[in-house]
Structure 1
């Protein structure tokens, strides 16, 4: 079923169109994003300006035309911090509702946090910890245990909002520390959602020549965030936009965002942050938990190739990396690729794979590369903490033998 989510926030307005499947998984078909910055200038007791309202109305007319062309009828529209802060938020939401034909819901800070947490929990193999969602106008911090949301905290610490209010790094850090002092130390994993943490992840990947292209499940050290924040706070927007992974629009918020993320991680006592490519929009889309996320997402991937999921091969291995690599390699082989193992490697390298952390995808992709007989020396540096060369090549050979035998019709 085709569905759309439109998220209008303090900094940006974005339309995402999804194909949603019966098992609650989804595929992002396309998106359109505009940095309208409707929250700029909103103070306590003030309103969204007429110029910003006109920009918003024009953007929603574009969205309405696009949705009509794609024949998308199931549309969810949400407004976040700018609508909560502005005195005319409800009036603007009504104007938008009239244009798009679906009611805009203004999310409270708690609701925004819950939706962000659902989007993360449904797409990463995580059990307990803290999820944060950093936007242009607010920060939501969500504690969860056994994949259940327990507490939601809401702070007016949005990256664009802070960039307009604080020019001194010292005052900025003091403000953030005072606000976040009520938080408890983390028990579990710290996961970050939002465009700024993803941009920091992309920059970190490019600077370290990381081979995967997706930031979903990528782990960045808090110490690296600290290094980046010190540099970013001393650059102007043009200089920031020249850095790898930082767009011109993101350059207006990435410096303050890096400070918020650094201070949050330090207060929680987290040495690293796992990045999610998904968040609030996907939570709004599904509004429920996905059970057995890895199997459900693999089921969706196989059916996108119009192939029945090769569970027999998947279940023939105990090693999680061999499970994933053999599953994807089998799909590629049945899809008719001349070198299914090279195709498996490229698919895992360039795709966002929900349900798995980046290390799962990285090692599985290199098993496929090893099965193709083209594993270069540089790749072994990436797996040295997990396997030695001899054992790893043995695993790759076993994956190839099992996949070849199964596809040829030999009983496993």
Structure 2
């Protein structure tokens, strides 16, 4: 294992870990509150460098913007509920020894005639400083939230709240043009004239949005509770097995089919089946009308659901650029290893050990290999009979950014094979179909390589443990050992080496002792 000195370029392509960097540690506990038109939410991030964990995530559906089309004022009951929520959030922050909360308010507060008065009421009752941001800033922050999970992403970010909908352009890790519109479902719900009037309003606003943003055929990132509810319904319609909303993919065809499915089914039954709140479900049909026109107008090549939005954007705002540039998956795995592995730092050595088995791997695959090796030992405290399943469950359902759904299954299978030779007969068999046969086999090889490589770790991290040499053309797998480390290759190690060779299809598999 190399030391901390990176002067000779010995660190892998992902760079030196930053979670112990003073600037990263300054983000060890960050609290943000979002006062929206439909909900008030507090999130406390337990900052782990580039990929923070959610220490607290609490939401109250207040409906501040309900009825504003008619009255021009905030909903009285919503104000009462929002103030009570904010008083609770203030006390929670104090209990966590967090002197500061970043509090932002969006469309309802900025549009309501009594918004300034309610802002003053909040500050007097709680001592919280409330920042009422304009639509362009809301769009920018939401786009930054997407960049937290997808560094270098490109496309169009669409954040739908209760009273507004924002669009932002992202390209090469930067936010471009931003714009807001009054296309929130609460406003559409209150619009007189029914569906015909809503369709006219949506068409008019969408035309203005397209003229400003320009049409584009890249990815559309959907941010907001109403979009996530529609994604849940799409999952139900398709019988999709992995119920993870972040990075869930749709296309124009699936959006059209899901809207028809929504209109053709009993909403209450569908709500209960999909686990959507009654308050949210009441807004879904209006959001669906907007989404249909949005997809038709901008014609994205694909659609990705993002669980990251304005709150994550506020955290991203506080990150130094060197943290922003990091891979969120690798940073999160490094933190997990440092916190939970028996021998922190060995994951990097293990990745170097198994890498010769994947000579043609592209950078996207190498990061999955690196991530798996960093996570290979973090579940060692689980009962031996359940370690394999615990690993798979953690990889597929953990709050990890920068992972497609098939990549979650790949990572989960690799970690499952770290502790178990066969993948059949687990409670996760129904998920394997998200990964094609070739990737399932590759994940098995990676898992068995980690399972074998884990036999070779010692407390003396400076020693040369072993080296693999794999020739796909000759179907030859060699394990190179020095006389000093040869005793590490015992009976259990030999059995695991044979299992790895079998998965590779090696016809010549042997150990070579070298001076």
Does residue 396 of the first structure (1) align with residue 448 of the second (2)? no
CA drift of 1:227 comes to 2.2
Q: Is the 8 A contact 1:345 1:365 kept in 2?
A: yes
| Distance in 2 of aligned mates of 1:190 and 1:411 | 46
Task: With the length of structure 2 as denominator, give the TM-score of the two structures.
Answer: 0.72
Q: CA, structure 1 residues 398+12, in 2 after alignment: closer, same or farther (shift >3 Å)?
A: closer
Higher alpha-carbon deviation: 312-321 or 287-296: 312-321
Pairwise mapping of residues 158-237 of structure 1 onto structure 2 (< 5 A)?
Answer: 158-165=184-191, 168-182=194-208, 183=210, 184-233=214-263
For the residue of structure 2 that corresponds to 1:299, the secondary structure is: helix
Which residue is 1:302 aligned to?
Answer: 337
Which residue is 1:9 aligned to?
Answer: 36
1:8-28 deviation per Cα after TM superposition (whole angstroms, max 9, x unaligned): 11111111122123x243210
Which residue is 1:311 aligned to?
Answer: 348
Q: 1:381 aligns with which of 411, 430, 433?
A: 433
Q: Quick check: which has more Rg, 1 or 2?
A: 2
Long gaps (5+) in structure 1: none
Which residue is 1:82 aligned to?
Answer: 108
1:245-297 deviation per Cα after TM superposition (whole angstroms, max 9, x unaligned): 42222111111112212221221112431111111011112314611223223
| Distance in 1 of aligned mates of 2:163 and 2:148 | 25
Q: CA, structure 1 residues 120+231, in 2 after alignment: closer, same or farther (shift >3 Å)?
A: same
Higher alpha-carbon deviation: 162-171 or 131-140: 162-171
Does residue 53 of the first structure (1) align with residue 79 of the second (2)? yes
Q: Is the 8 A contact 2:348 2:370 kept in 1?
A: no
Q: 1:251 aligns with which of 281, 289, 306?
A: 281
Higher alpha-carbon deviation: 372-381 or 190-199: 372-381
> When the two structures are aligned, how many residues end up with a matched partner?
406
Q: CA, structure 1 residues 44+297, in 2 after alignment: closer, same or farther (shift >3 Å)?
A: farther
Q: Is the 8 A contact 1:218 1:359 kept in 2?
A: no
Q: Is the 8 A contact 1:214 1:352 kept in 2?
A: no
Pairwise mapping of residues 106-117 of structure 1 onto structure 2 (< 5 A)?
Answer: 106-117=132-143
| Distance in 2 of aligned mates of 1:124 and 1:362 | 19
Q: 1:101 aligns with which of 124, 127, 138?
A: 127
CA drift of 1:190 comes to 1.2
1:378-399 deviation per Cα after TM superposition (whole angstroms, max 9, x unaligned): 5553223xx43xx733541343
Q: Is the 8 A contact 1:128 1:144 kept in 2?
A: yes
CA drift of 1:117 comes to 0.6
For the residue of structure 2 that corresponds to 1:43, the secondary structure is: helix
CA drift of 1:203 comes to 2.9
Q: CA, structure 1 residues 83+111, in 2 after alignment: closer, same or farther (shift >3 Å)?
A: same
CA drift of 1:126 comes to 4.8
Relative contact order (alpha carbons < 8 A, sep ≥ 6): 1 or 2 greater?
Answer: 1
| Distance in 2 of aligned mates of 1:53 and 1:150 | 34
Which residue is 1:291 aligned to?
Answer: 325
For the residue of structure 2 that corresponds to 1:345, the secondary structure is: helix
Q: CA, structure 1 residues 341+270, in 2 after alignment: closer, same or farther (shift >3 Å)?
A: same
Q: CA, structure 1 residues 237+34, in 2 after alignment: closer, same or farther (shift >3 Å)?
A: farther
| Distance in 2 of aligned mates of 1:276 and 1:113 | 14
| Distance in 1 of aligned mates of 2:138 and 2:101 | 18
Which residue is 1:36 aligned to?
Answer: 62
Q: CA, structure 1 residues 358+74, in 2 after alignment: closer, same or farther (shift >3 Å)?
A: farther
